[in-house]
């Protein structure tokens, strides 16, 4: 196996992924982070599971070459959760950028010895592009949330008008606010 | 303009919680996680104390003078009245079995949503004022004083519990967190601290008999609209009766079934089934609500709102009552109504006029759930069914907390589904039946302003639905609860948009072959039946 960056990343994959997951879980209160780390059932611990499965998928995409539709699914699984949790927008998507520091720390020696700084820069560009994609996904989640709120409020207002006999259309004919998750 | 963090700074941000102890970390009211405060006029309608408009985000909650005394007196009263409350305050050993079983904790990661800690919010106050170690040792004994910050914390977290009781399944002592939340809400209501989303429906129900505040003409209009739709689909004109004295059966369902999809399709289902059976039943425009938001307010309020059901059954002279598809309604009616508003000695033990089955389980309350009524019909071969009309659906079933965990009704809905649909897939074992995950928006948390909170609470349920969607192509989530029908719709839209929501009797009515019906082209939603797509 040659000493290019992707080969080294492949070899160090378990260590990198462990650190990445740990770093993301540390964004939760410590009791919660331990629960999410220890509980392995995907149904008892959907957040922990989505994070560990998600980062694996994202890492694999970085190694194999990013196909936006495929990597979006893994990003979405994590971001859809963080978009409704107690995070600011930057905190919700910052996990993508954690990977840069983890790779630099984990592979510092190898990068120096094998003069892989150029490859590292290219990889970091790819991580940056994932960051931008993450921002789009975050916004789609938030817009979806606002659509749901708006539609509930609209249909409630509609029902009040209907109750007061001010309009007579059936609720089923009321158009919803267009869907913002158009994918 | 404020300077934002640069990339380096951003990657080094520290997201850990403040280092203060939980007792010293006051609640921060963030939009999306709480409901609006109760309006004065709605509290006034039911003669509740401290009726005034107030806002949770403002510092001043306009509390009455001596409010601490009011809460502590009420606590002393309930401790002496309810042995269970006293036990639940005393016996927790903090083993942590409940901690990670709450859907709000799993979805939010907020430690104060662990049932043990949510209960501790109240236990700490209990210890301070009602136990000797707490009085003497204070903080060392896990005790703290009741102050405004503690009160706000109670309000925030007791309206972040849906009283689903999943945690109690795992508690080795059987501590029922729902009862602690109920007490919390009861104390808060003594200070005028309800939510708008609960107190509005309570006032409506008190004045007009149902949460939506529908008057008789609106109820009848709504049902007539459904009858028109049924005629279009089946060619059969149904003529239900309203407030009819001498009917054999009074039918009571949540008012949500009358005005919001997909509940309206469920209501059409009831009427088609009852018509086909020739059932001697009547709707009531007075007892026009099966649900009870008083139950999310205080014991006394729940009792006051529920009284109309037996009163109407007596006035109309029916023999017994059938209840529509509802969750908390069923628990309230079965576990509370008898002692609140009974004895119903003017009613008879329900006997199905079609099968002759005597529902001994309802000997005391004289009311049966429509799911057990229908399951009995199918068991006796009394319905002609064509399940292939539901072949466009791949179903899974959500056990509603109050019906399944609360009342043990788990087989009847499944039995019905298997007889009216050909494609049924269960969700994973730890997420159904007595371990079912809550929809995330029960107990009056189904407002819109707290949508982030609803999505957090709804995540564990939606996660299991997503699994069966990906594994089996499930596209429909069935349930027998009006709150589920309203709230799972939003939850699915966010988490699993490929899955829609249905009530059980919508499925029954689609499969039901009615006497004299025309060849059906569409289901109750107006969508083409399988095989009729090209017509």
Q: How far is B341 from chain A (nearest CA, A)?
A: 30
Residue B110: list chain A partners with CB under 8 A. Answer: 29, 32, 86
Residue B111: list chain A partners with CB under 8 A. Answer: 29, 31-32
Res A13: pLDDT: 96
Of B13, B430, B497, nearest to A43 by CB-CB distance is: B430
| Encoded tokens for A56 | 């694996």
Q: Which of B99, B105, B109, B467 to mutate to test the interface with A (most CBs of A within 10 A)?
A: B109
Residue B109: list chain A partners with CB under 8 A. Answer: 28-29, 32, 36, 47, 85-86
Chain B residues 201-220 with a CB less than 8 Å from chain A: 212-215, 217-218
Residue B448: list chain A partners with CB under 8 A. Answer: 148-149, 152-153, 156
Res A183: pLDDT: 39
Percent of chain A with pLDDT over 70: 86
pLDDT confidence tier of residue A157, bands split at 50, 70 and 90? confident
* DSSP state string for A84-148: TSS--HHHHHTHHHHHHHHHHHHTHHHHHHTT-HHHHHHHHHHHHHHHHHHHHHHHHHHHHHHHH
CB B271 within 8 A of CB B293: no
What confidence tens digit (pLDDT) does each residue in B432-483 have? Answer: 999 999 999 999 999 999 999 999 999 999 999 999 999 999 999 999 999 9
Res A177: pLDDT: 53
What confidence tens digit (pLDDT) does each residue in B226-251 have? Answer: 999 999 999 999 999 999 999 999 99
pLDDT confidence tier of residue A155, bands split at 50, 70 and 90? confident
Pick among 1.10.490, 1.10.150, 1.10.3470, 2.70.70: CATH of A5-146? 1.10.490
Residue B105: list chain A partners with CB under 8 A. Answer: 32
Q: Mean pLDDT throughout A133-155?
A: 95
| Encoded tokens for A79 | 């971001």
- The dihedral of CA B375, B381, B382, B384: what is its sign? positive
B83 touches chain A (CB under 8 A): no
pLDDT confidence tier of residue A165, bands split at 50, 70 and 90? low
Q: Mean pLDDT throughout B242-266?
A: 95
CB B480 within 8 A of CB B403: yes
What confidence tens digit (pLDDT) does each residue in B422-443 have? Answer: 999 999 999 999 999 999 999 9
Find how far residue B252's CA is from the centre of its chain: 16
- Interchain contact, B15 vs A26, CB within 8 Å: yes
Chain B residues 32-71 with a CB less than 8 Å from chain A: 32-33
- Interchain contact, A170 vs B225, CB within 8 Å: yes
pLDDT confidence tier of residue A39, bands split at 50, 70 and 90? confident
Q: Which of B305, B294, B229 is nearest to B267 (CA)?
A: B229
Residue A39: list chain B partners with CB under 8 A. Answer: 100
Res A168: pLDDT: 59
Domains and CATH numbers, chain B: 21-194 (1.10.1060), 200-511 (no CATH)
- Interchain contact, B431 vs A28, CB within 8 Å: no
CB B193 within 8 A of CB B226: no
Res A1: pLDDT: 47
What are the sequence ranges of the domains in chain A?
5-146
| Encoded tokens for B509 | 């009515």
Residue A43: list chain B partners with CB under 8 A. Answer: 428, 430-431, 460, 463-464, 467
- Interchain contact, A43 vs B260, CB within 8 Å: no
* Nearest chain A alpha carbon to B491: A148
Of A45, A148, A170, nearest to B106 by CB-CB distance is: A45
pLDDT confidence tier of residue B1, bands split at 50, 70 and 90? very low
Question: Is residue B10 over pLDDT 80?
Answer: no
* Nearest chain A alpha carbon to B11: A98
- Interchain contact, A91 vs B430, CB within 8 Å: no
Q: How far is A133 from chain B (nearest CA, A)?
A: 16
What confidence tens digit (pLDDT) does each residue in B35-67 have? Answer: 999 999 999 999 999 999 999 999 999 999 999
B97 touches chain A (CB under 8 A): no
Residue B392, exposed/middle/buried by CB under 10 A (0-12, 13-18, 19+)?
middle
B109 touches chain A (CB under 8 A): yes
Res B14: pLDDT: 61
Q: What does the alpha-carbon distance between residue B32 and residue A144 come to, in Å, rounded to a whole number?
A: 14
B13 touches chain A (CB under 8 A): yes
Q: What does the alpha-carbon distance between residue B80 and residue B74 come to, in Å, rounded to a whole number?
A: 10
B196 touches chain A (CB under 8 A): no
Those residues whose C-beta lies under 8 Å from the C-beta of residue B252, and which sit 6 or more positions away, are: B284, B287, B288, B289, B290, B309, B321, B322, B323, B324
Q: Mean pLDDT throughout B138-143?
A: 95
Q: How far is B46 from chain A (nearest CA, A)?
A: 22
Q: Mean pLDDT throughout B303-309?
A: 96
Residue B212: list chain A partners with CB under 8 A. Answer: 159, 163
Q: Which of A36, A44, A179 to mutate to test the interface with B (most CBs of B within 10 A)?
A: A44
* Nearest chain A alpha carbon to B109: A32
- Interchain contact, B111 vs A144, CB within 8 Å: no
Three-state secondary-structure class, residue B282 = strand
- The dihedral of CA B177, A42, A145, B433: what is its sign? negative
- Interchain contact, B494 vs A149, CB within 8 Å: no
- Interchain contact, B467 vs A101, CB within 8 Å: no
What confidence tens digit (pLDDT) does each residue in B371-387 have? Answer: 999 999 999 999 999 99
Residue A127: list chain B partners with CB under 8 A. Answer: none
- Interchain contact, B448 vs A45, CB within 8 Å: no
Enclosing H/E stretch for B123: helix B115-130
What confidence tens digit (pLDDT) does each residue in B197-236 have? Answer: 999 999 999 999 999 998 999 899 999 999 999 999 999 9
Q: What value of ipTM does the predicted structure carry?
A: 0.92
Q: How far is B49 from chain A (nearest CA, A)?
A: 28
Question: Is residue A4 over pLDDT 80?
Answer: yes
Quote the mean pLDDT of chain B: 95
How many beta-carbon pairs under 8 angstroms link A with B? 125
Higher pLDDT, A181 or B388: B388
What DSSP designation does B502 have?
E
Chain B residues 132-171 with a CB less than 8 Å from chain A: none
Chain B residues 209-268 with a CB less than 8 Å from chain A: 212-215, 217-218, 221, 225, 259-261, 264
Res A181: pLDDT: 47
pLDDT confidence tier of residue B273, bands split at 50, 70 and 90? very high
Those residues whose C-beta lies under 8 Å from the C-beta of residue B392, and which sit 6 or more positions away, are: B523, B527, B529, B530
Omega of the bond prior to B113 within 30 degrees of 0, cis? no
Q: Mean pLDDT throughout B353-380?
A: 97
CB A74 within 8 A of CB A91: no
pLDDT confidence tier of residue B4, bands split at 50, 70 and 90? low
């Amino acid at each position: 196996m040659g000493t290019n960056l992707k080969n080294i990343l492949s070899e160090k994959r378990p260590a990198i992924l462990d650190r990445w997951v740990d770093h993301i879980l540390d964004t939760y209160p410590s009791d919660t982070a331990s629960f999410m780390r220890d509980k392995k059932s995907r149904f008892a611990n959907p957040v922990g599971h989505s994070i560990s499965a998600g980062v694996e998928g994202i890492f694999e995409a970085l190694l194999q070459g990013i196909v936006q539709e495929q990597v979006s699914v893994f990003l979405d699984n994590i971001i859809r959760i963080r978009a409704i949790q107690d995070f600011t927008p930057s905190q919700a998507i910052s996990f993508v950028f954690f990977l840069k520091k983890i790779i630099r720390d984990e592979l510092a020696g190898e990068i120096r010895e094998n003069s892989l700084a150029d490859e590292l820069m290219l990889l970091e560009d790819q991580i940056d592009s994932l960051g931008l994609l993450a921002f789009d996904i975050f916004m789609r989640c938030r817009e979806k949330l606002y659509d749901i709120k708006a539609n509930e409020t609209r249909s409630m207002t509609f029902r009040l008008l209907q109750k007061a006999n001010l309009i007579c259309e059936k609720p089923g004919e009321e158009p919803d606010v267009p869907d913002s998750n158009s994918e | 303009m404020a300077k934002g963090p640069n990339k380096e700074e951003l990657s080094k941000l520290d997201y850990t919680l403040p280092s203060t102890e939980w007792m010293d970390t006051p609640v921060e009211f963030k939009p999306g996680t709480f409901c609006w405060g109760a309006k004065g006029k709605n509290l006034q309608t039911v003669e509740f104390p401290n009726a005034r408009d107030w806002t949770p985000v403002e510092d001043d909650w306009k509390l009455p003078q001596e409010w601490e005394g009011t809460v502590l007196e009420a606590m002393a009263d309930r401790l002496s009245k309810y042995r269970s409350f006293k036990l639940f305050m005393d016996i927790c050993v903090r083993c942590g079995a409940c901690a990670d079983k709450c859907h709000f904790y799993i979805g939010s990661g907020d430690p104060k949503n662990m049932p043990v800690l949510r209960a501790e919010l109240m236990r700490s106050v209990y210890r301070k004022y009602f136990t000797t170690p707490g009085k003497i040792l204070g903080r060392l004994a896990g005790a703290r004083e009741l102050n405004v910050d503690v009160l706000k914390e109670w309000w925030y977290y007791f309206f972040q519990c849906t009283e689903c009781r999943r945690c109690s399944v795992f508690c080795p002592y059987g501590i029922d967190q729902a009862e602690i939340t109920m007490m919390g809400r009861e104390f808060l209501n003594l200070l005028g601290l309800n939510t708008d989303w609960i107190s509005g429906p309570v006032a409506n129900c008190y004045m007009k008999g149902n949460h939506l505040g529908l008057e008789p003409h609106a109820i009848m209009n709504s049902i007539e609209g459904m009858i028109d739709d049924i005629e279009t689909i089946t060619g059969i004109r149904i003529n239900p009766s309203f407030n009819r004295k001498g009917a054999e059966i009074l039918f009571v369902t949540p008012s949500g079934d009358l005005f919001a999809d997909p509940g309206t399709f469920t209501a059409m289902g009831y009427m088609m089934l009852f018509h086909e059976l020739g059932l001697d039943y009547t709707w009531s425009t007075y007892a026009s609500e099966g649900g009870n938001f008083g139950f999310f307010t205080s014991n006394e309020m729940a009792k006051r709102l529920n009284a109309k059901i037996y009163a109407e059954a007596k006035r109309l002279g029916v023999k017994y009552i059938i209840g529509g598809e509802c969750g908390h309604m069923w628990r309230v009616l079965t576990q509370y109504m008898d002692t609140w508003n009974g004895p119903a000695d003017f009613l008879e033990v329900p006997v199905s006029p079609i099968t002759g089955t005597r529902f001994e389980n309802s000997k005391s309350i004289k009311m049966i759930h429509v799911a057990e009524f229908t399951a009995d019909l199918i068991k006796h071969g009394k319905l002609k069914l064509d399940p292939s009309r539901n072949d466009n659906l791949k179903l899974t079933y959500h056990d509603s907390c109050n019906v399944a965990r609360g009342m043990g009704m788990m087989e009847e809905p499944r039995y019905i589904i298997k007889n009216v649909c050909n494609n049924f897939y269960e969700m994973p074992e730890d997420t159904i039946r007595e371990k079912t995950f809550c929809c995330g928006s029960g107990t009056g948390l189904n407002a819109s302003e707290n949508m982030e909170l609803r999505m957090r609470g709804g995540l564990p349920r939606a996660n299991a639905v997503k699994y069966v969607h990906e594994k089996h192509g499930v596209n429909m989530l069935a349930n027998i609860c009006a709150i589920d029908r309203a709230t799972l719709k939003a939850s699915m839209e966010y988490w699993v948009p490929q899955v829609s929501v249905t009530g059980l009797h919508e499925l029954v009515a689609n499969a039901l072959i009615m006497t004299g019906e025309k060849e059906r082209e569409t289901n109750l939603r107006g969508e083409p039946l399988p095989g009729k797509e090209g017509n």
